[in-house]
Amino acid sequence: MSNLGEFELIARLSPFLASAGDDLVVGHGDDAAVIDLDGRGVCLAVDVLVDEVHFRRDLSSMADVGWKAVAVNVSDMAAMGARPTVAVVGLCRPPSLDAAAVEQLYEGMSEACREWGLRLVGGDTVAAQALAVSVTVLGDVQPDAAVRRSGARPGDRIVVVGELGGASAALAQLRAGVDADERLLQAHRRPVARVDAGAALAAAGATAMIDVSDGFGADLLHVCEASGVAAVVDAERLPAAAGVHEAARALDVDPMVFVAGGGDDYALVATVAADGVPAAEAAGAVEVGEVIQGSPAATLRLPDGSTRDLAGMGWDHYRQEGP
Ligand code: ADP
Ligand code: MG
C-alpha cells in the first residue's frame, strides 16, 4: 500500500463502481453522486475522519472534530450546487473515548447541522482501536442542475469562493515548533462549507465545480482531468487566508506551498463562462485564472511572468503524514 497513492487506488476500484447512466446522474469520480428519484435529485457523499490522520486531539476538541466531519461532507454537497438535508454517522470508538467525549463530538456535529440546515438521523457505533468518524450526507439538487467536475471549457474563467492555505499553514507552524496563528488553526479546526455560494455558482451557470480538500492545485487538476482542459492561474489573485503570508515569511517558505498546495481549505473552485463572472462575483467569488485548450494541466503564473506546474502540490493522505 505504501507506494500506492490514494488516487491510483481509487482508479483501481472503478470497475466495481457505477458510472452515470439511467437514474444515476453523477456516478463515482465527482465530489458526490447524484441520483434522479422520479425527478428529484438526491446528492450523496461520505467522508471519514481518522484520529492522527485528519485531526489531532491536542489541537482539536471533540466538538471541532464533529463539526469538521459534517462540514467536509456539506462542502462536497456545495461543490455539486446541492443543499444538504440529512446525515448519518459511523463512529469507531476506542475504549479511551468516554461517553462525555462522544457527547461533545455530537455537540459539534449538531452545531454544524444547525449551521447548514441538515439533520442527524442515525448512525452506527462500533468498538475499535482508533477513533474514526464517518459521516454520510444526503442533499437536494435539481438533477439537471448538478455541477460536475467535467464541464469546464476553454475560455471559461476560474473563480474561487473562500480562503486558501490557512489549515496547512497552521500545521506547518506546529511542525516547525512555533505557536500556530489562532486564525489559521481555526481554519483547520472549523472549516466552513460554502453552500449558498455553491448554489449561486450553479445558478450563475458554473460549468464545473470542486471543493478544495486536497489542495487548490490538485483539485483544479481534478477538474482539468475530468474536463479534458488545461488551466492557468495567477498566483497573486489567489485568495490567501489572513495570516498565511506572514506564516510563510516566518517559516521562510513560498506562500504558494500553502495557498496553492495546502489542502483542507474547503473553498469552492468553479469555472464559468466570461459572461457569468459578475454573477459569480456577486456570490462572493474572485476570478483567479482561465481555462485553456490542452492536455490536462494546471499552471501557476507568477508576477514575474514565470510559471509553475501545480501538479503534485496537493495533499495525499497515503503519501504524507497527517496533522
Ligand atoms: P472528495 O475529496 O471530494 O471527498 P475524494 O477524493 O475522496 O473526493 O473521492 C473522489 C471520488 O472517488 C469520489 O467520487 C468518491 O466517491 C470516490 N471514492 C473515493 N474513495 C472511494 C472508495 N474507497 N470506494 C469507492 N469510491 C471511492
Ligand atoms: Mg470534494
CA of 40 to the centre of ligand 2 (A): 22
The protein residue whose alpha carbon is closest to atom 19 in ligand 1 is 10
| Dist. CA 162–CA 202, nearest whole Å | 16
Report which protein residue has its CA nearest ligand 1's atom 7.
47
**pLDDT at residue 318 in the model:** 44
Q: Which domains does the chain have, with CATH numbers?
A: 6-140 (3.30.1330.10), 157-309 (3.90.650.10)
> Does the beta carbon of 15 sit less than 6 angstroms from any atom of ligand 1?
no
Instruction: Measure the CA–CA gap between 224 and 280, rounded to whole angstroms.
Output: 20
Q: Which atom of ligand 1 is nearest to the CA of 31?
A: 3
Indicate which residue's Cα is closest to atom 13 of ligand 1: 29
The grid cell for 97 is 473515548
CB contact at 8 A, 170 and 181: yes
Q: Is 269:158 a contact under the CB 8 Å cutoff?
A: yes
Query: Does the CB atom of residue 30 touch ligand 1 within 6 A?
Result: yes
Handedness of CA 134, 310, 222, 276 (dihedral sign): positive
- What is the pLDDT tens value at each position of the chain, 323 positions in all? 345 688 889 889 999 999 899 999 999 999 999 999 999 999 999 999 999 999 999 999 999 999 999 999 999 999 999 999 999 999 999 999 999 999 999 999 999 999 999 999 999 999 999 999 999 999 999 999 999 999 999 999 999 999 999 999 999 999 899 999 999 999 999 999 999 999 999 999 999 999 999 999 999 999 999 999 999 999 999 999 999 999 999 999 999 999 999 999 999 999 999 999 999 999 999 999 999 999 999 999 999 999 999 986 755 554 455 56
**216 alpha carbon – ligand 2 mean position (Å):** 11
Q: 163 in ligand 1 pocket by Cβ < 6 Å?
A: no
13: Cβ below 6 Å to ligand 1? yes
First to last CA, the chain: 20
Query: What is the number of the ligand 1 atom nearest to the C-alpha of 211?
Result: 3
Ligand approaching nearest to the C-alpha of 17: 1
196 touches 268 (CB < 8 A): no
- Report how far residue 131's alpha carbon sits from residue 323's, in angstroms, rounded to the nearest whole number: 15
**What is residue 6's predicted lDDT score, i.e. its pLDDT?**
83
Q: How far apart are CA 274 and CA 126, in angstroms?
A: 50
**Rounded distance between C-alpha atoms, residue 199 and residue 320, angstroms:** 33
| Best CA proximity match to 266, nearest among 185, 200, 190 | 190
Unique residue bearing C-alpha cell 486558501: 164
Q: What angle do CA 22, 24, 29 make, to 5 degrees?
A: 130
Grid cell locating 90:
459511523
Predicted local confidence at residue 323, as pLDDT: 61
Verify whether ligand 1 is closer than 6 Å to residue 263 (CB atom). Answer: no
What is the dihedral angle through the alpha carbons of 279, 281, 287, 290, rounded to the nearest 10 degrees? -10
Pair 66, 100: CB distance under 8 Å: no
Q: Is 299 helix (H, G, I), strand (E, B) or coil?
A: strand
Count, residues in the chain: 323
> Distance between CA 44 and CA 87 in Å, rounded?
10
- Report pLDDT for 86: 98
- Amino acid identity, position 298: A
What is the DSSP pairing of strand 297-301 with strand 307-309? antiparallel
Strands 33-37 and 24-26 turn out to be antiparallel
Query: Considering only CA atoms, which residue is closest to atom 12 of ligand 1?
Result: 29
Query: Taking the model in full, what pTM does it have?
Result: 0.95
* Residue 314 backbone phi and psi in degrees, to 5: -90, 175
Task: Assess whether the C-beta atom of 16 lies below 6 angstroms from ligand 1.
Answer: no
